[in-house]
Chain A
Amino acid sequence: MTTDVLGARIKRVEDPRFITGNGNYLDDIKLPSMAHLAILRSPYAHANIRSIDIAAAKAMPGVAAVFVGADIPYNPLPMAWPAGGSAGIQNNVNTPRVLATDSVKWTGEGVAAVVADTAAQAFDALDAIIVDYEPLPAVVDAEKAIAPGAPQLHENAPNNVVFEWSVGDKAGTDAAVDAAEVVVRQRLVNQRLIPNPMETRGNIGWYNPGTDEYTIWMSSQTPHIQRLLLAAFVMGVPEHKIRCISPDVGGAFGSKIFTYADYPLTLFASKALGGRPVKWVEARRESYGSTIHGRDHITYLEIAGTRDGEITGLRVKTLANLGGRLSTIGPGIPTTLYARVLSGCYKIPNVYAEVTGVYTNTTFVDAYRGAGRPEATYVIERAMDLFAAEIGMDRAEIRRRNFIAADKFPYENPSGLGTASGGAKIYIDSGNYEPALDKALATAGYAGIDKAKTDARKRGKYLGIGLSTYIEVCGVAPSKWIGAVGEGWGAAMWESANIKMHLTGKTVVTMGTQPQGQGHETTYSQIVSHELGIPMEDIVVQHSDTQGTPFGYGSYGSRTSSVGSTAAIKAAAKIREKARRMAAHMLEAAVDDIEVDGANYFVKGSPDRVKTIQEIAFAIDLAFDPPEGMEPYLDETAYHDTPNCTWPFGTHIAIVEIDEDTGHVDLVRYVAVDDVGKKINPMIVDGQLHGGIAQGVGQALWEGAVYDDNGQLLTGSMLDYAMPRASYFPNLELGETVTPSPVNPIGVKGVGEAGAIASTAAVANAVVDALSPLGIRHLDMPYTPQTVWRAIQGAKGGQA
């Protein structure tokens, strides 16, 4: 290919609009006669609604309408990914209604809505709504929620259990644990996080009474899925009467995948108002109760092995707190995306996991960056450190000893990736774990760490080093697997692309994926430029509008670079093939004699008999003289269903210093050697890693959603929730190994989540290592100064 932008560090084509204030985010959109909606949210975590008096609110200045749940005829929101799919495992499903009708299950559940001429008027009128609540006892902790005597949230969910699901070989694992020389046990809490994209959610609903069509602008990762779910499950409106548009999305991290109650709410309101567009923009404090949270597992782990460090069994029991009602794919996260990858990069022969989903009086929990895989990585990486400490083995060596060997791929792990019923399996496609480990150890100075620890002690610091040798599942997913009976997600997960080359040679690429900051307009341009030999500046990438883009499943699960890119490559191949046939016609040669070099289509052996793709586009788009039977235009659509997921891996190493007197943890160095396969744009890859690492470090050191026993969210604003700041981080040191994925033609794997998956465990292991001279073998996150100081005082026998 003559154009070689693929793999280059190319500045992003989206950036000019963002650096000049010309982005177009949801709240930037203003439509003629637009009204504003505000939602009254429950102040109680658990209560029955006796009555709602909206009379005074209706009389407030500027108020156009006030709605309560009983006004809205739509169905409750869908839950699309039950644990175990349709394999017959009982899932006790309760999902939110557009507005609550009889009861509320968490602080922040919507109970009424006001539409007014201005946002201020709508908010003012909320204060005039009188809700008579009957407060009920609340429970926020999953372990307490399943205990006898706990407050019960739902009649159809005895003991607040959503599902009980298991995976792996129970008998074999029980036998391995019983027979093992060494078994280490630990209770781990993976605390609840709040995703916090910098743009909150929001949407504008517009009903067109002339055409009976609904349009919604939404800050969403999945406009096509939202159209399908709103049509088929919520509103009872045919799919072709709904149009979903995602404008520029200001970050998402999973939180904007789902079907939220506010989507049908603004559409309903717009129709009720005769077609006035209705805007709702989530306030930040509101978002902490109305947008999903992530993580929140309590896990009991048992890891078994030999005295010389061979791991023979892993048995895990996890309680997953899913909130007061279920979000769209809440049960899928702690099952398929967590328990099936618990054994990570290790050849552990016996793995068994039980997962119980639990209702509590908290905001619903669903996919947040990494979604199950950070929780799994935290379990196995803490387990490896605990086991190494127990037998007195070096922590790098125990990992090396148990790695899946480089010649064992594709590898079928024992925790069930290959065991979905119906015969659909996926495998760990590729891997070569030791070079990444070695490179990270060398970069971090692992061999000299004892001296660094001694030096730090002289300064009143405890220095610790932590490893996380992770793997990650990207590129979700083969439809026959992800949609298989027994796995869940009752839908496919292919991707789509359309390429149109107009007669001037300018090219429009429309994609079914949906960016939220990842730079898709740049990377897809690089790919299509490479494939068709046309300049990047001649390419525009469009996305995110169900009218005009092919159906796509959206962007999450680090799937765009593998699945979406392959769809674009396939569409480009179709364009090339049609162009070859047209070139043959124009050059009066046989199709088989036409060779392609970048944009040039020439007769084999006669490079001067040549047509450029731009000349070909002009000719076939005008179609004055096409070959017999050829339709006009270079316009091709391709759908790609991936044959497998992709499996990045790497070693992350954190070095921390802990102040003995204050318990303050300082992240001193952070080394990450990642293998994400080939890279489309290494600059963008680095940026994804930086951001992911920062979010994972955030969980280890600062972040955590805290509820009091009554279900009040104590970390209910950005003032209270510990968002990571620039001054908290050292310069992150990135390195790479490159093991191309065999799953797609570029050899990419995906990188959106890798940083967040690896980094939490690395920092946790570093903190525990630092505190190990005090006899501390485990500490739950986040490692705030108070938590660490108490642990130090406790270990020293002081007052904690």
Chain B
Amino acid sequence: MPVSEHIAFVVNGTPRELDVEPRRLLVQALREDLDMTGTHVGCDTSQCGACTVHVDGRAVKSCTMLAVQADGSSIKTIEGLAAGDVLHPMQTAFWEQHGLQCGFCTPGMIMTAVDLLGRNPDPTDDEIRHAIEGNFCRCTGYQNIVAAIRAAAAAMRTGAGATA
């Protein structure tokens, strides 16, 4: 039998413990072991960013991190972004600006965008486009994603329900 490691971390505010193979990726632990399938896998070379989550407050491609490396950390996924029924301003902005079509890249894109606004609350379009370079979208041509992040930034600067 494969060796397994015991890990403990906090996911969306809830303490979780798992026994995982050392080779298990964080995204696999989230999707397969914790049944949190909002975080997606779009590639196998850390290019697409569909698996982006927050680890200790920073955006991380969860296919690029072993689950054992997340031991002791605090993780936020797309499922934990809204405050109950109140959407995060970034979620609202993606909805209002038509920042998604098939929706597959959307969770990772939103988590990356929230990370950007945490570091830069008023980014230019160029800064937004640079910040999401590690997240592929094949549907939108990125235009309405940029518009959504711009709209979310404006909403969060004016304090419209910001919870990031």
Which residues of A does B touch, CB under 8 Å?
Answer: 11-12, 14-23, 25, 27-28, 30, 61, 120, 196-200, 248-251, 253, 283-285, 516-519, 683-684, 686-688, 690-695, 717-719, 723, 725-727, 729, 731-732, 755
Contacts and interface: CB of A to CB of B under 8 A. Distances in A.
A28 B101 CA distance: 18
Of B87, B91, B136, B141, chain A has the most CB atoms within 10 Å of the CB of B141
Contacts of B137: 198, 726
A284 B44 contact: yes
Contact of B91 (A19, A687, A717, A719): A19
A519 B139 CA distance: 12
Given A198-B138, A691-B139, A726-B146, A21 B37 contact: yes
Contacts of A249: 102
Interface stretch (B54-62, B65-73, B126-134, B154-162): B126-134
Contacts of A200: 42
**Ranked 5 nearest A-B pairs via Cβ:** A21-B38, A517-B102, A18-B103, A250-B104, A694-B141
Contacts of B41: 27
Interface of B: 1, 21, 23, 31, 35-45, 47-48, 50, 77-79, 81-82, 87, 91, 94-96, 98, 100-107, 110, 125-126, 128-130, 132-133, 135-146
B22 to A, nearest CB: 12
A285 B143 contact: no
Contacts of B43: 284, 717-718
Contacts of B102: 197-199, 248-251, 516-517
A61 B104 CA distance: 33
A20 B104 contact: no
A20 B40 contact: no
A517 B45 contact: no
Contacts of A285: 44-45
A517 B140 CA distance: 10
A253 B110 CA distance: 23
Nearest to B148: A19
Contacts of B79: 20-22
B50 A19 contact: no
Given A11-B95, A197-B102, A199-B104, A19 B47 contact: no
Given A519-B101, A726-B146, 20 more contacts: A11-B95, A19-B106, A20-B79, A197-B138, A198-B42, A198-B48, A251-B138, A284-B43, A284-B44, A284-B48, A687-B139, A690-B140, A691-B101, A695-B141, A717-B44, A718-B48, A726-B130, A726-B133, A726-B142, A726-B145
A478 B35 CA distance: 45
A134 to B, nearest CB: 30
Of A20, A683, A695, A755, chain B has the most CB atoms within 10 Å of the CB of A20
Contacts of B103: 14-15, 17-19, 23, 248, 250, 517
B156 to A, nearest CB: 16
B64 to A, nearest CB: 12
Contacts of A19: 78, 87, 91, 94-95, 100, 103, 106-107, 110
B11 to A, nearest CB: 12
A352 B41 CA distance: 46
Contacts of A12: 95, 98
B40 A199 contact: yes
A283 B44 contact: yes
B19 to A, nearest CB: 14
B110 to A, nearest CB: 7
A127 to B, nearest CB: 14
A726 B108 CA distance: 14
Of A28, A120, A725, chain B has the most CB atoms within 10 Å of the CB of A725
Contacts of A283: 44
A743 B100 CA distance: 30
8 contacts: A11-B98, A19-B95, A198-B105, A198-B138, A684-B98, A686-B144, A692-B141, A717-B47
A690 B137 CA distance: 11
A105 to B, nearest CB: 24
A729 B143 contact: yes
B130 A518 contact: no
A197 B40 CA distance: 13
A28 B37 contact: yes
B47 A719 contact: yes
Of B126, B129, B132, B133, chain A has the most CB atoms within 10 Å of the CB of B129
Contacts, number: 178
A719 B94 contact: no
A593 B23 CA distance: 74
Contacts of A253: 138
Main secondary structure of the interface of A (DSSP, over half): loop
A197 B43 CA distance: 11
Nearest to A124: B2
A206 to B, nearest CB: 19
Nearest to A284: B43
Main secondary structure of the interface of B (DSSP, over half): loop
Contacts of B133: 725-727
B106 A687 contact: no
A21 B80 CA distance: 9
Contact of A727 (B95, B130, B140): B130
Contacts of A687: 98, 101, 139-140, 144
A727 B129 contact: yes
A688 B140 CA distance: 7
Contacts of B40: 25, 27, 198-199, 250
Contacts of A17: 103
A742 B102 CA distance: 30
B5 to A, nearest CB: 15
A529 B135 CA distance: 36
Of A196, A249, A250, chain B has the most CB atoms within 10 Å of the CB of A250
Contacts of A15: 94-95, 100, 103
B101 A686 contact: no
Contacts of B44: 283-285, 717-718
Nearest to B94: A19
Nearest to A250: B104
B138 A11 contact: no
Nearest to A16: B95
B141 A691 contact: yes
Contacts of B36: 21
Nearest to B90: A19
A198 B110 contact: no
A20 B94 contact: no
Contacts of A23: 38, 103-104
Of A30, A197, A249, A727, chain B has the most CB atoms within 10 Å of the CB of A727
B42 A199 contact: yes
Nearest to B145: A726
A251 B101 contact: yes
Contacts of B91: 19-20
Nearest to B144: A687
Of B43, B47, B129, chain A has the most CB atoms within 10 Å of the CB of B43
Given A61-B1, A251-B104, A284-B44, A20 B38 contact: yes
B143 A690 contact: yes
B100 A686 contact: no
Nearest to B38: A21
Contacts of A729: 129, 141-143
A516 to B, nearest CB: 6
B81 to A, nearest CB: 8
A120 B22 CA distance: 12
A732 B146 CA distance: 12
A17 B106 CA distance: 11
A731 B145 CA distance: 11
A693 B141 CA distance: 7
A563 B145 CA distance: 30
A19 B77 CA distance: 11
A195 B48 CA distance: 14
Contacts of B144: 686-687, 690
A133 to B, nearest CB: 25
Contact of B136 (A693, A695, A718): A718
Contacts of A16: 95
Nearest to B88: A19
